[in-house]
Structure 1
Amino acid sequence: MLILIHSETNQRTIAQNLGRSEYSYYFVLKEYRPVLERLGRVVEVSDPDTEVDALYLDAQARGEDCVFLSFSPPHRTPVHLACPTLPVFAWEFSTIPNEPFDGEPRNDWRTVLKACGAAITHSSYTVDAVHAAMGAEYPIVAVPAPVWDRFAARGSALKTEVPPKQFRLRLKGLLVDSRQLDLRAFGPAHLRRGKGIDFAAPVQERELLLDGVVYSSVFNPCDGRKNWEDMLSAFCVSFREVEDATLVLKLTHFDAEEALTDLLHHLYKNQPYRCRIVLIHGYLADADYEQLVQATRYVVNTSYGEGQCLPLMEFMSCGKPAVAPRTTAMIDYLDADNAFLIDSTDELTAWPHDPRKAFRTLRYITDWASLCRAYRASYAVAKNDAVRYRQMSEHAVASLQTFCSQAMAEQRLRGFFTQLAAARAAAVAEAPPA
């Protein structure tokens, strides 16, 4: 079987595309690839319009099955190709776009899903949303990005070492430490003392020392779905008098000033606090990312919804319990044994790519008081209940193995491709003679 794959962001463009629309599809493609290579011959294409059908026709001439996996949301998935095409997409809202807008018929995802005949997504929540729009018999399978094997292996290696009391990380980029920065530079205009940070300065290698109870989160601060404002304010209030509580925010965005400016203002607004807030904008080599994971006691998510949330899955695969809401894709892998769950309520919102901003779907709002309780309870466990923390850590690893291991992904994809091949064969057999 020939499996063609494509995402609009690729290895050459990922650096300048961090934080831009749909950039994370490249990371999903990378995680899928080793599994797809067990199922067939994989070719990554740069230009679907010029490459896919030529490769498909060659495969047909050899009698080889061929499928094109477009790692993209349906409204950016081509529907004009002769090659069978499947969108591989993430989605975190209660309904899929079911009406055309902005002059683009593909914005009605039903049009694309009908043309493709099947799809791949990453959670049971999205499968349910698609079935609500397309009917319960529509062929769609939930296959999360299979990150477990790589990160569980890292977690096992870390457990064999004696954990140090202090962790040392090196990074290239901007490092903001609430204990070392005059935050008045980011307050109201009449209080500001200079610029505070020179965003145009050359990138330098920096060192970060972490200790105490560390909470970490990895996200794009310009993505309005991430709701980092609640994450930060609740942390500052919950640990206002706690010096050994640290929140590390690893920011993924191509523009440091755009990524940091609003966050810095919120650091100012939430004063006073004795806890520590660290912002990282820059590159972490694998060894230093592993050090961040090892230093972390809890991974945090306070988003309005997730299509799957790769960083949350990665940290949990390493045995780090979560502080997070059990909504959207997170329903599939969070529970009270591997996370301190945050309450939430739903509210009307718009599909993110709809310029009309018309209310057509739901997102999930964090209960701020519940978040504060989760922070305090998790801190108490980290400090005083080593047995429960170890049990939560072990359950996180086991839960994520069931959710996003390569073995699970291979099983689901193999079964799905077999199902589609059987449906195509049946359709050909039932077709009237030409």
Structure 2
Amino acid sequence: MLIIIHSETNQHTIERNLGRSEYSYYFVLKEYRPVLERLGRVVEVRDPQREVDALYLECVARGEPCVFLSFSPPHRTPVHLACPTLPVFAWEFSTIPNEPFAGEPRNDWRTVLQACGAAITHSGYTVDAVHQAMGTDYPIISVPAPVWDRFSARGTSAQAQPQTGPVRLTIKGLVADSRQLDLEAFGPVHLRRGKAIDFKAPVREQELVLDGVVYTSVFNPGDGRKNWEDMLSAFCVAFRDTEDATLVLKLTHHDAEEALGDILHHLYKNQSYRCRIVLIHGYLADADYERLVQATRYVVNTSYGEGQCLPLMEFMSCGKPAVAPRTTAMIDYLDEDNAFLVRTTDELTAWPHDPRKAYRTLRYITDWASVRDAYRASYEVARHDPQRYAQMSAHAVRSLQAFCSQAVAEQRLRDFLGRAQALCATAPAHTCGA
């Protein structure tokens, strides 16, 4: 079988696209690729309109099965190709878009899913939302990005060198440390004084030393779903008098000033606190990423919903328990044995790409006091209950192995792609993307 793959962001554009819409699909494609290469020949294309059907017709001529996996949300998936096309997409809301808007018929995802005939997503939550719109017999499968194998190996390496003191990282980029910043420079404009950050200064390498109980979150601060404001303010309150508690925010964004500006203002607003907040905007080599994992005791998420949440999956695969809500995709792999769970309530919201901002779905709001309490409880375990921490760590590894290992992904994809290919071979042409 020839498996054609495409993401709008690729290895040539990822640096400038960090933080932009749909950029994370490239990382999912990268994690899928080793598994797909066990199932067939894999060709990545940059221009589906020009390349996919040419490859497909070559396969037809020699009798080779062929499928196109479009790593994109349905409204950005082509539906007019002759080649059987499957969208591979993430989703974190209670309903899928089920009406056209903005003059684009594909904004009604039912139209695209019907045209494709089958789809792949990353959580049972999304499968349920699709079945609600398309019927329970619609062919869709959950295959999370298979990150476990790579990151569990990093966790094993880190555990082989247990943290016995400060961990040193080398970062090429910008590091903002609450203990070194003049926070008065980030207050309201009319009150600002002191030395601010020079975002136009040349990027340089610098050393970061981490110690104590470290909480880490990796996210795009421009993504409105991430709710970093609650993550930060609850941390400052929970550890207002705790010097050895550190929150590391590794920011994934193409623009340092845009990424840090609002967060720095919140550091100012949440004063005073003795805990430490570290913002990282820059590149971490693999060895330094491993050291960040080694230094981290808990991975944190306070988002309104997740399509799968790669950073959470990665750190938990390394044996780091979570502080997070058990909603959306996180239902599949979080429980009380591998995380300090945060309570949530649902709230009406709009689909993120709907310019009308019409309320058509639900998101999940974290209970701020629950976030604060989860921080405090997790700190007590890290400091005073090493046996429970070790049990939570081991359970995190096992849970993520069952959720997102390459073996699980390979088995699910092997069975599903065969069935999807058979479906497209027997269905009317318009059902399969032509």
Coarse TM-score class (shorter-chain normalised): over 0.9
Question: In the alignment, is residue 295 of structure 1 matched against residue 267 of structure 2?
Answer: no
Tell me the alpha carbon deviations over residues 69-128 of structure 1, each in whole angstroms, 9 at most, x when there is no partner: 000000000001000000000000000000000011100000100000000000000000
Residue 59 of structure 2 aligns to which amino acid in structure 1? A
**1:422: how far off?**
3.6
User: Is 2:38 aligned against 1:38?
Assistant: yes
Tell me which of the two structures has the higher relative contact order, counting C-alpha pairs closer than 8 angstroms and 6 or more residues apart.
2
- Partner amino acid, structure 2, of 1:138: Y
CA distance in 1, matches of 2:425, 2:315: 42
Q: What is the CA deviation profile of residues 7-27 of structure 1, one whole-angstrom value per residue up to 9, with x for unaligned ones? A: 000001000000000000000
Residue 406 of structure 1 corresponds to which residue in structure 2?
Answer: 406
Say if 2:162 and 2:294, in contact at 8 Å, map to a contact too. Answer: no
Query: Aligned equivalents of 2:310 and 2:190: distance in 1?
Result: 41
Residue of structure 2 in register with 1:316 after alignment: 316
Letter in 1 for 2:386: A
Give 1:273's aligned residue.
273
User: Could you list the runs of 5+ residues in structure 1 that have no partner in the other structure?
Assistant: 429-434
2:206 aligned counterpart, secondary structure: strand
Q: Does 2:264 correspond to 1:264?
A: yes
Cα drift, residue 217 of structure 1: 0.1
Counterparts of 2:320 and 2:7, CA distance in 1: 30
Change (3 A) 1:426 1:16: closer
Q: 1:292 Cα shift?
A: 0.5
2: CA distance, partners of 1:196 / 1:343? 37
Can you list the C-alpha shifts for 1:260-281, whole angstroms capped at 9, x where unaligned?
0000000000000000000000
Identify which range, 118-127 or 191-200, moves more after superposition.
Answer: 191-200
Partner secondary structure for residue 360 of structure 1: strand
Identity of counterpart residues, as a percentage?
A: 81
Match of 2:432 in 1: none
For 2:431, the equivalent position in structure 1 comes to none
TM-score, normalised relative to structure 1: 0.97
Task: Name the structure 2 match of 1:198.
Answer: 198
- 1:343-371 deviations in Å (ceiling 9; x for gaps): 00000000000000000000000000111
- The alignment yields a C-alpha RMSD, in angstroms, of 0.9
With over 3 angstroms needed to count, the CA separation of the structure-2 counterparts of 1:424 and 1:102, relative to structure 1, is: closer
Change (3 A) 1:195 1:115: farther
Partner residue, 1:431: none
Q: Is the 8 A contact 2:117 2:423 kept in 1?
A: no
Runs of 4+ in 1 over 4 A off after TM superposition: 424-428
Aligned partner of 2:372 in structure 1 is 372
User: How far apart, CA to CA, are the structure 1 residues paired with 2:288 and 2:90?
Assistant: 28
Aligned to 2:181: 181
SS in structure 2 of the partner of residue 176 of structure 1? strand
Partner deviation per Cα, 1:24-79 (whole Å, 9 max, x = no partner): 00000000000000000000001000000000000011100000000000000000
Per the TM alignment, residue 307 of structure 1 is displaced from its structure 2 partner at its CA by 0.1
Normalised by the length of structure 2, the TM-score is 0.97
- Could you tell me which amino acid in structure 1 is paired with residue 319 of structure 2? G
Which residue in the other structure is 2:63 paired with? 63
**Counterpart mapping for 1:111-150 below 5 A:** 111-150=111-150
Is the CA contact (8 Å cut-off) linking 2:84 and 2:424 kept in structure 1? no
d(CA) in 2 for partners of 1:194 and 1:78? 52
Amino acid at match of 1:217: S
Q: Tell me the SS of whatever aligns to 2:359.
A: coil
Q: One-letter code of the match for 2:141?
A: V
Give the secondary structure class of the aligned counterpart of 2:67.
Answer: strand
